[in-house]
Chain A
Amino acid sequence: MKLFGIFFAAFLINNILLIRFIALCAFFGVSTKVGTSVGMSFAVIFVMTISSAVSWLIYYFILVPFNLEFLRTAVFIMTIASLVQLEELYLKKMIPNLYRAMGIYLPLITTNCAILAVAFLAIDYKYNFLESMIYSLGVSAGYALAIILFAYVRERMAAAPIPRWFQGYPIAFITAALMSLAFLGFSGMFGL
C-alpha cells in the first residue's frame, strides 16, 4: 500500500511537469506532435528508472561511507551523463529498432532536470531502493501522461484561430497553466 501511495503521489498529485514545474524546456520543446512526445516519454521512462537506480546505489555505497553527501550534485550529473551515453551506445548495437525510435531523444535527456531531480528527491525522501524505483517509475509515468495530453491539446490548437499575439509559446504556457490547475484537483486524494 505504501508503494502504491508513492507511485500515485509521484504520478498525479506531485506531477513533475504540471505541479512541480520541473523539466519544462523539453515539455514545451517536443510537445508539438503526439508522435514525438510519445517517443520522448518512453525515453524518459527508460532513462529515469535506470539512472535513479544507479545514483541511489552510488549515493548509499560510495558517498555516504566517505561522508561526501555534499558532492552529490557533481557526482549525479557525471553519473547521469555517462549513463545516458552508455545506454545510447548499447541500444545502437543491441536493440537498433529501439534506438531508431528514441535515439534522438537520448542526448536531449542527458541534461534534463527531471532526471536529476528524481535522483535528489528519492534521497531527500529517504526512500529505500525498491521505493525509489517505484518513485521514479511514477514520476516518469506522470511525465508521459502530462506531455502526451499536452501534445494532443497543442495539435488541436494548431488548427485553431489564435490571436496573433498569443501564437506559439504564449498560448502554450496559458494552456499548461490551465492543465496544471486541473491537476491541482488531485491534491488531497488518499490523504497524500
Chain B
Amino acid sequence: MLILISILVLGVMGLVFAGLLGFAADYFRVEEDPRVGQLLAVLPGGNCGACGFAGCRDFSEKLILGEAGVGGCTAGGAKVGEAIAAIMGVQAAAFDRKIATVHCGAKIDQRKPKAHYTGIQTCFAVNMVDGGGLACSYGCLGNGDCHAACPFDAIRMEEGLPLIDPEKCTACGNCVTACPRKIISIRPQDFPVVVACSSRDAGAVVRKICPVGCIGCKICVKQVPEVFAVSDNLAVVDYTKTGVSCDAAIEKCPTKCIVRL
C-alpha cells in the first residue's frame, strides 16, 4: 500500500512539475531575432569586450537595434566585418585595422633607478608602491602584465619593453586595461608614427632620468603642425590626419622619442 502511495505521489508531482515547466516554457517564451544566432556564429566568440559591449551576444543584440556599427568587432577584423554586413544586409564600410602601441621607449638599461625593489614582480604590484625602483613615474615597469593579459600571444617582452606583433594583435584592448601605468593605447595601423613616451614631467626632470623621454620642446609642432601638438609637456599625435609626412619631425626630435614603427 505504502509503495503504491509513494509511486502515486511521486508520479503526480512529477507530472505537475513537468506540466508547469511545459506551460512556462510556452508562456514565458522570449522572441529572439534569428539574426542573433547567425551573428554569434560569425563573431569570434572570445567575449573580449573590445567592441565596448558586454561580450559577443550583447554586441549582436546591439547590432540589430542599430546601436553598434558593423565594423565594431576589432578582434574579428575585416573578415568578420564583411560577414556581419552580409547578415545585416548593408555594405561593409572600409575597415580600418587597429593595433596596440606602447608609449614608452626606455629599454631596461636606459631606465634610471631610484631605489632597490625586491617585492612582488608584477607591474600591478610595483605600481602600487610608487613604481618600485623606477625613477620615471610614467614609464614602462617591464614586468609584463600586458604580456600575461594578451589572449592572442601578440606581446613579448624584449629588453624590458613589450614588443607588439602586428600580425597577431587584434586590438582587443586587454593590455590597455592590464597596464597599471596606462602607457598602451590603440591606434590605426596605417598611421605608423608614435610618440614613445608618456611622461608629463617637465623637460628638465625628464632629461635627468631618461635619455629617450619627451621633453616637451615643441620642435615637432614647429616641423609638422598638422599632426603634432604638445600638452602637459608631452607630444601627442592626431591620428585623423592621414597622408601628412611626419619625417621632418621624426628627424628633428632631439631625444628621438618620436618613432616610425
Contacts and interface: CB of A to CB of B under 8 A. Distances in A.
A90 B9 contact: no
Nearest to B123: A159
Interface residues of B, number: 22
Contact of B30 (A62, A93, A159, A161): A93
A93 B28 contact: yes
Interface string A146-164: 0000000000000111000
A58 B16 CA distance: 13
B9 A86 contact: no
A74 B10 contact: yes
Contacts of B13: 58, 62, 75, 78-79
A167 interface: no
A159 B124 contact: yes
A71 interface: yes
Contacts of B28: 89-90, 92-94
Nearest to A58: B13
A78 B30 contact: no
B244 interface: no
A48 to B, nearest CB: 19
A187 B30 CA distance: 48
A125 interface: no
Interface residues of A, number: 23
A68 B24 CA distance: 28
B24 A90 contact: yes
Contacts, number: 54
State the majority secondary structure of interface residues on B. helix
Interface string A44-66: 00000000000000100011001
A178 B28 CA distance: 45
Contacts of A86: 20-21, 24
Interface string B12-31: 01100110110011011110
B21 A82 contact: yes
Interface string A161-178: 100000000000000000
A75 B25 contact: no
A111 interface: no
Interface in B135-165: none
B9 A62 contact: yes
Nearest to A91: B28
A66 B10 contact: no
The 8 closest A-B pairs by CB, nearest first: A93-B28, A82-B17, A89-B28, A89-B24, A159-B125, A159-B122, A86-B24, A66-B5
26 contacts: A62-B9, A62-B13, A63-B9, A67-B2, A68-B2, A68-B5, A68-B6, A74-B10, A75-B10, A75-B13, A78-B10, A78-B13, A78-B14, A82-B18, A82-B20, A82-B21, A85-B24, A86-B21, A89-B21, A89-B28, A93-B28, A93-B29, A159-B122, A159-B124, A160-B120, A161-B121
